[in-house]
Amino acid sequence: MAQISHINYCSYSSHRVSLVSPSPRPTAPFKAQPSTLLRLVRWSHSAPRCRYSLGDGMGTRSAAAGSSPRRSLVTSDHLRHVESMAQLPSGAGKISHLNAVILGESLASEENDLVFPSPEFSAQALVSSPNRCAGYQQMYRRSVEDPAGFWSEIASQFCWKEKWHPEVYAENIDVGKGTVRIEWFKGATTNICYNALDRNVEAGNGGKVAIYWEGNEPGQDGQLTYAELLDKVCQLSNYLKHVGVGKGDAVVIYLPMLMELPIAMLACARIGAVHRYSPQMSVVFAGFSAESLAQRILDCKPKVVITCNAVQRGPKTIHLKEIVDSALTECANDGISIGLCLTYENQSAMEREATKWQEGRDVWWQDVVPKFSTKCLVEWVDAEDPLFLLYTSGSTGKPKGVLHTTGGYMVYTATTFKYAFDYKPSDIYWCTADCGWITGHSYVTYGPLLNGATIVVFEGAPSYPDSGRCWDIVDKYKVSIFYTAPTLVRSLMRDGDEYVTRYSRKSLRVLGSVGEPINPSAWRWFFNVVGDSRCPISDTWWQTETGGFMIAPLPGAWPQKPGSATFPFFGVLPVIVDEKGNEIEGECSGYLCIKKSWPGAFRTLYGDHERFETTYFKPFPGYYFTGDGCSRDKDGYHWLTGRVDDVINVSGHRIGTAEVESALVSHPQCAEAAVVGVEHEVKGQGIYAFVTLVEGVPYSEELQKSLILTVRNQIGAFAAPDKIHWAPGLPKTRSGKIMRRILRKIASRQLDELGDTSTLADPSVVDQLISLSDC
Ligand code: 6R9
């Protein structure tokens, strides 16, 4: 039996995937079973200066003398091979110190750490295959060999006023061959709202529940059938038309998870204007601050802002209208006046009398919308007309307006939803995401409703009044598909099994995960405890930019490996490239790119096609660059390893380090700031900020709080730094570039791994920073 004398726990950091310490953390020394599956992180050797690092998301890397081993996933039985794999200098002796992460206890081996769907599940699944995934493989092959045939067949199941012509798709994603251009179903006319609502009503499903709404307080609920939802959407559409929303106009929606949020999205989608442009619609996550909202309003200059007076989240009341008021004042100061703020009165959170009001601009939803007709003809729009704009963080301070169009997005979200969740008409589906993020667009609203599904929309907080709330809701509505984020799984896991096992959960059939890599211990808890070891987990890898799932298991088809998003969805051609952009075959690690377009792809960054090309298509010409690292194992499974750019993923929310830095430096007492991501047990990554103060300003706890508050006010609470580290100076190269690599090591206390600091303009700042670590 292999004995590892020192096993240091190292939960995952920004660059490593699937590395999280299982809880409870065992105390060293840890005695591994021969079959314990480990991911090696780094180890040192009894020979001096011999230290190896692995798994920084970009493949194997040698941190010091010697060449590094080829694999980071081993069972402890394999450990004896490590030395030979590492090609240690002769006479170097034994491995003396090892950091590894246990991926699973006593697994038979890496090879058969496979979780198979039950035969009963597979027998009923849309794509199943007793025969080693033959069903999937057949469909996948067709989708990549004949994308036009594959997708046009699927698209024919939707309603189009006119069919696409002359071709199903046209693309150029190679910057070397000219402007990047992606078009699907061009020339066709359709309407996504019609397909999501009217089509279902016309098919005889008007009486089926479309939305179950659960409020913040248990017992607060509501529901709408497809026919009722259609009526409500039409009323709002008519109102919007009445106030002159038309071609090229934007509507900003700043609403919490009320039924009015999907209603507003669908109403905008319904009323493409005269020249076959749908109004650009932009939903802004209602956790963003007034300044962020103002920035987005200034960017797209909406005719109408839709909000509500307040929302109750857990025990807190959030006055959304006040946030909108200050955003609108800020916009007015910048010369952009918004003439109409349609405000929904959310009575359970706040009475209308208590709401601050600006006559002439503010209008109560309830006073105007119900007066309009419940019939509203749809505007047929071109498949390539814009559907919505969603802002996401990039590696610069300015958020990117990701633009999705209508036809391809419709076909893609509907199809991915159907297959990745193995959707059946009898399912009740609940996605915990907020509509303000892409997940809420594609998989709360469009994907499910296009399939005629019954969805649950939850306004409250998942741990209110206690950590059993999710399972209470699952039992109440008999939820069969539950889709959430690893951060929620981890926080519920920390609160203990009894909150889960108190509820039956027998309605559950399929589970889903999104937003960041799900670490194997959270995967196992989700699978074993929440899903009673019978519900496959669809770990869906995708992005705001991709519109829909890109790499995800089809629950009945593939045996799963905890922590792997498995295989590409139909029509998706993922490739892993090295630093020079060469495709790497077989078992490897590198940068994840996509070859060829897919229907749900974004078409541009709003108002900045050049940035679109520079960010996504220039780094590796000929490919779409995802910004993520990825490894592929010998069985072809994909393991996403997190962002390789300056983007931090906090609880599944993308935050650019530059955005946080620019918020910090706007504080009058902050001279400079550098932000890095650090591992965080629940959030996945936390925000760690190094701050240099203006000359002469003393450090204080008060100042720390005020810096954090500045970020909360400028971006939102979710972007607040977890730690402010005082930095009299920052480690910079002679050309003035901040060496974030060193800051990451200091932030994660990997002080023996600082690497070469000799190229710094002033190497002494490093010691200074280390000495201030605990201030
Ligand atoms: C849908 C969404 C996208 C980034 C993406 C990646 C990370 C999302 C993931 C995942 C591993 C998964 N990500 N899902 N990483 N496994 N299943 O989250 O969109 O907010 O744009 O974030 O999130 O790093 O690049 P978005």
- The owner of tokens 């069972």 is 75
Instruction: Among 12, 285, 417, 543, say which to mutate for ligand 1: greatest number of ligand atoms within 8 Å of CB.
Output: 543
Find out whether the beta carbon of 563 lies less than 6 Å from any atom of ligand 1. Answer: no
CA of 761 to the centre of ligand 1 (A): 36
Burial of 689 (0-12, 13-18, 19+ CB in 10 A): buried
Residue 84 has pLDDT above 60, yes or no: no
pLDDT above 70: residue 36: no
Give me ligand 1 centre to Cα 652, in Å. 7
- pLDDT value of residue 382: 93
101-110, 482-491, 701-710, range with the lowest pLDDT = 101-110
CA dihedral 15, 19, 20, 25 (to 10 degrees): -130
pLDDT band, very low/low/confident/very high, at 113 (cuts 50, 70, 90): low
Omega cis (within 30) before 425 = no
- Nearest residue (by CA) to ligand 1, atom 7, is 516
Å from CA of 551 to ligand 1 middle: 11
Handedness of CA 501, 502, 507, 508 (dihedral sign): negative
Q: Which residue would you say has higher pLDDT here, 108 or 183? A: 183
DSSP secondary structure code for residue 732 in this structure: B
Cα 770 to averaged position of ligand 1 atoms, centre (Å): 32
Lowest mean pLDDT among 59-73, 357-371, 480-494: 59-73
* Predicted confidence (pLDDT) at residue 159 exceeds the cutoff of 50: yes
pLDDT band at 369 (very low <50, low <70, confident <90, very high): very high
- CA of residue 516 to ligand 1 center, whole Å: 5
**Rounded to whole angstroms, how far apart are CA atoms 589 and 552?**
18
* Cβ within 8 Å of residue 243, ≥6 positions away: 303, 304, 340
Cβ atoms of residues 293 and 338 within 8 Å = no
- Check pocket membership of 75 for ligand 1, CB cut-off 6 A: no
**Window from 442-451, 552-561, 619-628 with minimum mean pLDDT:** 552-561
Name the band, by pLDDT with cuts 50, 70 and 90, for residue 73: very low
Asked if residue 394 has pLDDT above 80, the reply is no
Which helix or strand (DSSP H or E) is residue 268 part of?
A: helix 260-270
pLDDT at 15 over 50: no
- Percentage of residues in the chain with pLDDT exceeding 90? 58
In this prediction, residues 704-722 reach a mean pLDDT of: 93
What is the average pLDDT across 205-222? Answer: 97
| Widest CA span in the chain | 86
Q: What is the pLDDT averaged over residues 750-773?
A: 84
pLDDT of residue 579: 87
Structure-model confidence comparison of residues 735 and 358, the more confident one: 358
Residue with the larger pLDDT of the pair 390 and 503: 503
pLDDT, tens digit (0-9, with 9 covering 90-100), for 434-461: 998 899 999 999 999 999 999 999 999 9
* Pocket flag, ligand 1, residue 640 (CB < 6 Å): yes
User: Does the beta carbon of 565 lie inside 6 Å of ligand 1?
Assistant: yes
The closest of 325, 358, 321 to 343, measured between CA atoms, is 321
Q: Indicate the residue type of 698.
A: P
465 φ/ψ angles, rounded to the nearest 5 degrees: -75, -15
Mean pLDDT of the chain: 83
The sign of the dihedral angle between the CA atoms of 282, 457, 234, 363 is: negative
Q: Which of 106-120, 407-421, 710-724 has the highest mean pLDDT?
A: 407-421
Residue located nearest, by CA, to atom 15 of ligand 1: 516
The answer on pLDDT for 44 being more than 80 is no
Pocket test for ligand 1, best of 516, 643, 650, 659 (most atoms within 8 A of CB): 516
Helix (H, G, I), strand (E, B) or coil at 53: strand
Question: What single-letter DSSP state applies at residue 526?
Answer: I
Which of 105, 9, 7, 41 shows the shortest CA–CA distance to 681? 9
Give yes or no for residue 60 having a pLDDT over 80: no
485 CA to middle of ligand 1, Å? 10
Would you please indicate which residues are annotated as catalytic (active-site) residues? 645
Q: What is the DSSP letter of 77?
A: G
92-111 tens-digit pLDDT: 444 444 555 444 332 323 33
What residues have CB less than 8 Å from 169, skipping those under 6 apart? Answer: 147, 148, 151, 182, 183, 184, 185, 186, 408, 597, 599
Confidence of residue 247 (pLDDT cuts 50, 70, 90): low
- What percent of the chain is modeled with pLDDT above 70? 82
Q: Going by CA atoms, what residue is nearest to atom 4 of ligand 1? A: 543
Q: Judge if the beta carbon of residue 522 lies within 6 A of ligand 1.
A: no
pLDDT of 225? 98
